[in-house]
Each structure stands twice: as C-alpha cells, then as structure tokens.
Structure 1
Amino acid sequence: MADLTTASTAPAGVNFGDLSKLAAPTLPALSEPVPKVGGFWSSNPLFSYINDTYISIAEHRKSLGLVNPGTVEGLNKEVSRDVFLNQYFFTGLRADFNKTFSMDPAFQTAHTLSIGSPVLLPYTFTVLYASSNMFVQGNIDSDYSFMGRANLNWDKSNISKVTLQFANGQPSFCQFEQDYQGSDYSINLKALNPSFLYGSYTGVAQASFLQSLTPKLAVGLESAFSRQPGSPAPDASISYFGRYNAGNWIGTAQIQGQGSLLASFWRRVTDKVEAGIETQIGLDAKPIMDPLRGGLVGFEPEVKAETTIGAKYEYRQSVFRGQLDSAGKVRVFMEKRILPNAAILFSGEIDQAKSESRLGVGLQFETAGNEEILMMQQGLIDANGNPIPGAPQL
C-alpha cells in the first residue's frame, strides 16, 4: 500500500517507491551510528525503575487471569435485585401498557395506571431509548413530577451517567456519575446535588474503587464527603467491601461508614432456582427517659440486626419470588405470562408483628409497532428476522 504522507508531497511524475534513483551519492560512514535513545522514561534512572516495576506488575496481573469485579453499587445485586422482590413489590390495582416501536435501537413507551397504592401514583408515562452507546429514560406522573436518567458509553471502559428528578413540592435532585471499567478493577465517581453557591462545595461526593485480587476474590473501598448549606463542618466516612464469586455461589461483606455491617450470600440451587440471604447489623441511639420527671436524660447505643432470606423460581412462563425477614414480614411476588404479549402480576405481604396484610394485582400488556417486532415478541423469529427452529409458523 502506498505511503500517503510521502505521496502527497511528491512532485508530479516522480515515484518515491525507488529512492535510489533520486538520492545523491552518499559518503562512507566515518563512525558507527549512534544508538537511539529510548526516551525520558528509559534514560532517567528513577523513572526507568518505576516504568520497569509497572510493567512487571502489569504482566503479573495479566498472568493471574483476573476479571472485572463489577461496581460497588452492584456488589450484591444477585441477592438484592435478582432474588429479593423489593423492586417488584406493589399494592393495589395496577395496569401496564408497553409498546415497542423498534428493537435496534430500542425505542419503547409505557403507560402505568394504579389504584389504591400508597406508593404508585394514578398515572405514569415512561419513554425509553437505548442504542449501543446510549441509554435515555424519562417518566412523568400525574403529579407533574419528572425523573430522567441518561447513560453515555464513550468507549468500552468509560460510562457517564446523569440522573435528574423534579418532584412537585419536594426538593429537586441531581446526580452526576462516571464509571471506569478496567480489566481487573473498577472506579466510580459520584456527585449528588453539587453546588459552589455558598462559598464552598455543598452536596455529597463519593469515590469508590473495587479491585480483583484473584479470579474469585475482589476487595474495595468507598469514601464519602457531604456538606449541607449552613452546616458548621462537613461529614466524611469510609466504607470497605469484599466479594467472593465461586461461580454457583457468591458471598459479599460490607463495613459501611455509619458503623453498620452488611453481609449477603447467593446460591444457584438449580438452573431455575436461586436463593439468597442478607444480614444487616447496625448501631442506633436509644433515648433514655427520666423515670421521675419524664424528661430526656440522654442516649445509649443499641444494636439492631435484621436478616432476610428469599428464593426465586424462574420457569418458562412464570417467575415466582418470595422472602421472609426477621421482623416477621412475609412477601411474595408472581409474574405469570398467559399470552405472548400479556401477563398477570400478583404481590402480597403479611406483617406478623403488626397483624397487617397488603395485596396487589396487576396486568401487563405489550404491543408492537410493526409485524416484525410482534413476531419477535411471540418467539417466531430472531433479531435478524430468521425463523426460529421449532416455532409454529404463521
């Protein structure tokens, strides 16, 4: 292939491929050519030693076969997000209408109607757009509260995230986040409601680091700094993390800056059954009252602990989640697909300590913007439009 740099400066009709036709007669070499210096990093003894040490450590890390440990935020996601039903539980009556207009890039809209729920609002509209390097989601509800988030993948390692929330009658919320995913480590920087309008930084700033020590063990820490407007001094804390992934089971431990301990254990029982347990132990201040005068005398430390155990059963047409905690709460959530584009939802809770119970029933409908997407949702064709073997033909 021709060299474009030299060809662009060559006179017309001259071929630089054979330089011997243009070169002037050369004089014999009077001395040996001077060896090429490797540069500043190799010529300076101190930096050369640092560079060699860095190369040796990098080669040793590569030989260990380390993998990326994920993020601190998703340290125990297998338990808190996959098995437990905290993100799925609801009460009252609920109906979801989802419509997909395209798959690549993905563009979807959703309408959620709710009655009798203390948490869900009567109406919520959601829009989602996702491509290979971008994710944007926003929703607005019947109280005119807006929440949106956007993720931008600069490359395979860098992800920038922005979250905004404007709630009616409540303070606004803004969060900026930057993720860096290395080959065997991850770095996360986060700022919540940052501001410099009061003469110094106010808000919350967090920085976390998670490093794989072996292919199964990862450790990390997180530093948090917060200052509120008008406060005399800021607050700072450091948390420590550990995660061990053995493949079919995962154990995590967190020593949080507030003095609490959080430990979790996840186990894949079968290809359709997962189980998890989570224990949190923390210190709290218990008020001490004067038995004679009835006034507040002071506070004494009190240890509080809570343990939650749960299981997830995932079958072809249904998903069942159940959990039980030490406070006496029993929760269940079931999603049953009755049609390729329709599912029923059921959630229930029994609080043994308070003798209370709550129920939730919902319907979920999915529609397609065109016939091709509808066939993909029904499992008739794949993402490339090819028929799936064994699927019924129309």
Structure 2
Amino acid sequence: MGDTKGNGVLPPFLSDNGLINLFRNTYTAFSKRREALGLSNPGPFDKIKREVDTDVFLTKFMFTGLKGELNKPLSISPLFQFSHAFALGSQQNPPYGFSAIYGTPSMLMQGNLDNDGQLMAVLNKSWTKSFVTKSQASMTPGQASVVQLDGDYSGKDFTASIKSMNPSILDGGLSGAFVGGYLQSVTPGLALGAEAVWQRFGMNQGPETILTYCARYKGQDWIGTAQLTGQGMLSTSYWRRLSDKVEAGTELNLQFAPGLGGGGLMGAGASKVGTTTVGAKYDFRTSSFKAQLDSTGKLSCLLERRVLPPVQISFAGEIDHFKSTAKIGMAVSLEVASEAIQTQAGPSASEPSVLF
C-alpha cells in the first residue's frame, strides 16, 4: 500500500490501531447522537442571562441629568453614520462626545472621542459565519491604556470564546487577563458551560485563577440560569414572557465570604451577603417601559417613547429608599437622514439603524 496522506485515507499504522479506532468510532457515534437531538446554539458564556440583563433590567441603560443625541446617517449600505452627544449634570456621560460608525455585513468599525480627550476604538470582524473577532482600545489622558482582544467560535450546538485584556510579554513574562469560556447544549433545553480566568497585572505579583460553572435551561416561554464561581459567588436568574408585550425577570446574587470561624462555600463559619433584583418590561405601540426593584431599596424606571419617526424621548428615574436620595434623567435623540438615504431605504429610512 502506497502513501495515502494526500487522498485523506489514514496510513496503516493509524487505521489498524485499535485504540484510535475505538476513539474514532466513539466520537462518530456521539456526533450522530448530537445531530439526532436537534440541539441549537446556546450563545456565548458571558451572555447566558442576556434576556434579563438587556431585555428587562435597565441597569445598563440608567442615566441621570440631561442628554441629547444627534445622529446623521450618510449611507445605509454600507452603513456610515456619525453622532454628536451632549450631556448636562450627568455622572456617567461626558459633556460632549463624537462617534463615527462604519459597517459592512462582515465588519464594524466605531470610534468615540469626548471633550476630555478619551478615545475608544472598536473593530469587529466576521471571518466566517462561525468565527468572529472583536478588538477594542481605550486611551485616556493621564491613565493607562486598555486593549481587549476577543474571539468567538459558534458551532451548531456550542460556543467557544477567548478574551484577553492588556496582554504583554515585555516585562520578562506573561501579564494581563485571559478568559476562556465554553457553553454546550446537552439537551434541547439544557446547556452547560465553564469559564476560566487567568490574570496577572504585574511581574511582581503572582497569577490568579478563577473558575466559573454555569447552567442555562430554556423552556417554552421562560429561561432559568445559574452560575457558581470558585470564590464563593452564586448567581441565578429567571426570565419569563408573560404575554406578547410583557416580560419579567429576577436575579439573585449571593456571596459566601469566610467568617471568623473559617468554613468554605457552604461552611458554618461563612457569612452570606446577597442582593435580589426584580424587574418587568412592557412594550406599547410606540414606547417601552421598564421598572426594577432590588433588595438594597432602589426603585428604578425607564420610559422610552418615539414621538415622531426621527425623534425619541427617554425618561429615567431612581429612588434609593434606604439613603433617601433620588435621581432623574431626560434624553432626546434625533436622527436626521438625507433625502437620498430616504429614497434609497424607502419608508423605513427614518428608523435608527444603530442603537448607542
């Protein structure tokens, strides 16, 4: 028998090996069983509770003071748009910020610059339907720069991802933060995964490692998740669609800290500190309302209403009952599209193409 490397056939010393054949047959049988189950992709590890964090809760969208945004699309295909943002009395947003976005079906570039000189650049590239890379750099005057590189691979029934923040070998060794995550569907409703973090921010410090395990179960109209870290943190969430317009969610975060009597995660000497958050979202015809309440006494709400096709107004409010403080915010977003873009896109040209 001649050389068979070029035609894809294994050489005799591999094809006649009983251990290799056993492994190959086991893997083939396992792959066929996975295909027979009809498993779907569960998404990335860091977004297992995206329905609660993004769709229901308003923590990531809360703001104070007055905000104004002016979005100007220059073209729709490829996407090219710039934006001016103004803020007054806000603790989260600078007084002025400029943003530019350029995107194609396989690439997205974005740059942000504010009045304090802080610059942030983002480049996302889809190499194939399954493999996407993301890079982000942030530079602030008087502070250290931050560089983050991500890579996600999405299979039929799993997602594998790797992230790095400020990776470097210039100090005589490897430093930075590295995160690897994997989420696998094991049944049509259940997905299990794990995430490992390795970090060292200086050669004069020792490396640290953190392991996190997670489970996600998707029912007909509800999703439940659980995450457990080796440092003693437990996080659970529950999301449910009550109707076509109403969604609700809850989240519990519990920290097990070793007390004076010792003890580990479930030890008798461990103290427990936790918070619980409950939220709901209601979609009207031209507006959306979100509200949430947590165990620390904070009640928050957010109302987003589209007054006209190019104009959106948002109201945000938060009351801290324990501290007796209140915050309020108002934002106006205006999108101005040229006549050429409106003609190219049709009646829907006035709808925002990018959400900031």
Work out whether the TM-score is over 0.5: yes
Q: Secondary structure of 2:29's match?
A: helix
Q: Does the CA contact (< 8 Å) of 2:312 and 2:333 recur in 1?
A: yes
CA contact (8 A) 2:82 2:101 kept: yes
CA apart distance, 1:362 = 1.3
Residue identity matched to 2:313: I
8 Å contact 1:375–1:381 — kept in the other structure?
no
Where does residue 285 of structure 2 map in the other structure? 316
Would the alpha carbon gap of residues 283 and 158 (structure 1) be closer, same or farther in structure 2, given more than 3 Å must change?
same
Among 163, 171, 174, the alignment partner of 1:190 is 163
Q: Assess if the C-alpha contact under 8 Å between 1:163 and 1:176 holds in 2.
A: yes
Instruction: Kindly indicate whether residue 309 of structure 2 is the aligned counterpart of residue 343 of structure 1.
Output: no
Count of residue correspondences: 335
- Structure with higher Rg: it is 1
Deviations 1:79-121 (A, max 9, x none): 0111111121111111011111222222111111000111210
Does 2:181 correspond to 1:208? Answer: yes
Does structure 2 retain, via aligned residues, the 8 Å contact 1:242–1:252?
A: yes
* Counterpart position of 1:295: none
Pick one of 88, 94, 97 that aligns with 2:67: 94
CA distance in structure 2 between the partners assigned to 1:241 and 1:134 by the alignment: 31
- Aligned residue number for residue 217 of structure 1: 190
Name the SS of the counterpart of 1:87 in structure 2.
helix
Choose 342-351 or 49-58, whichever is displaced more: 49-58
Deviations 1:30-50 (A, max 9, x none): xxxxxx995335344332332
DSSP 3-state at the match of 2:318: strand
Aligned residue number for residue 264 of structure 2: none
Checking the alignment, whether the CA contact within 8 Å between 1:340 and 1:378 is kept in structure 2 is no
1:202/1:228 contact within 8 Å kept:
yes
Per-residue CA deviations over 1:258-282 (Å, capped at 9, x if unaligned) read 3110000000111111111001001
Does residue 302 (structure 1) correspond to residue 275 (structure 2)? The answer is no
The answer to whether the Cα contact below 8 Å between 2:162 and 2:180 also exists between their aligned partners in 1 is yes
- Give secondary structure in 2 for the equivalent of 1:360: strand
Aligned CA RMSD, in angstroms, stands at 2.2
Aligned to 1:39: 10
**Contact 1:340–1:377 (Cα < 8 Å) also in 2:** no
CA distance in 2 between counterparts of 1:374 and 1:83 reads 35
- What is the match of residue 106 of structure 1? 79
TM normalised by structure 1 equals 0.80
Contact 1:368-1:374 within 8 A present in 2 as well: no
Q: State the 1:170 CA deviation.
A: 2.1
Q: Tell me how far apart the structure 1 counterparts of residues 104 and 125 of structure 2 sit (CA, whole Å).
A: 10
> What displacement does 1:65 show?
0.6
Percent identity of paired positions between Structure 1 and Structure 2: 38
In 1, Cα distance between equivalents of 2:315 and 2:231 = 36
Between the aligned partners of 1:345 and 1:365, the Cα distance in structure 2 is: 12
| Distance (Å, rounded) in 2 between the aligned partners of 1:263 and 1:159 | 28
User: What one-letter code is carried by the residue in structure 2 that aligns with 1:185?
Assistant: F
User: How many angstroms does 1:198 deviate by?
Assistant: 1.9
SS at match of 1:53: helix
Alignment of 1:1-394 (within 5 A): 38-40=9-11, 42-284=15-257, 302-373=271-342, 376=345, 378-379=347-348
Q: In structure 2, give the amino acid aligned to 1:314.
A: D
> What displacement does 1:136 show?
1.4
Contact 1:114–1:120 (Cα < 8 Å) also in 2: yes
Are the equivalent residues in 1 in contact too, given 2:86–2:97 (CA < 8 A)?
A: yes
Question: In 2, are the aligned partners of 1:160 and 1:177 still within 8 Å (CA)?
Answer: yes
For 2:10, the aligned partner's letter is G
Q: Which moved more, 1:367-376 or 1:109-118?
A: 367-376
Q: CA deviation at 1:141?
A: 0.5
Q: CA deviation at 1:146?
A: 0.8
1:341 and 1:377 in contact (8 A); partners too: no
CA–CA distance in structure 1, aligned partners of residues 132 and 220 of structure 2: 27
1:284 deviation in Å?
4.3
Secondary structure, in 3 states, of the residue corresponding to 2:47?
coil
The letter for the 2-side match of 1:163 is Q
* 1:194-213 deviation per Cα after TM superposition (whole angstroms, max 9, x unaligned): 11122211111111111100
- What's the CA shift for 1:230? 3.8
Instruction: Give, in angstroms, the shift of residue 135 of structure 1.
Output: 1.3
Compute the displacement of 1:286 (Å).
Answer: 7.9
Residues in 2 aligned to 1:70 and 1:180: alpha-carbon distance in whole angstroms: 10
Q: What is the distance in 1 between the residues matched to 2:224 and 2:251?
A: 10
- Given that 1:104 and 1:131 are in contact with CA atoms closer than 8 Å, whether structure 2 keeps it comes out as yes
1:177 Cα deviation after fit:
0.9
Which has the higher mean CA deviation after the structures are superposed, 179-188 or 166-175?
A: 166-175
- Deviation of the 1:381 alpha carbon: 10
Q: How many Å separate the matches in 2 of 1:352 and 1:150?
A: 42
Q: CA deviation at 1:75?
A: 0.7
